[in-house]
Amino acid sequence: MEGIIIWLIIGAIAGWLAGQVMKGGGFGLVGDIVLGIVGAVVAGWLLPRIGLHIGGGLVADIINATIGAVIVIFLIRLVAR
């Protein structure tokens, strides 16, 4: 149960940060959390493949999830056009 709560908190923070970085219309709190969690999964898969290792710990997890969420937001906006 604690793991799920931590994932939600990291997802919420990462989604909010990605929304601030990308500017424009947000996706709401639930949308930001979902994008943050999806972003964490995307970053966990993509970043090691391109040779980018940020490190371990909570801050590194938030940074990784934010990078992934920015990528996901970019792709969603690209497809939505």
Helix (H/G/I), strand (E/B), else coil: 17 = helix
Distance CA 5, CA 74 (A): 26
pLDDT of residue 25: 62
CA pseudo-torsion sign 61, 47, 73, 37: negative
pTM: 0.82
pLDDT of 24-79, one tens digit each?
Answer: 666 777 787 788 888 888 888 888 899 888 888 888 888 888 898 888 888 888 88
Q: What is the DSSP letter of 62?
A: H
Q: Tokens standing for 61? A: 């997890």
Q: What do you get for the CA distance between the two ends of the chain, in Å?
A: 38
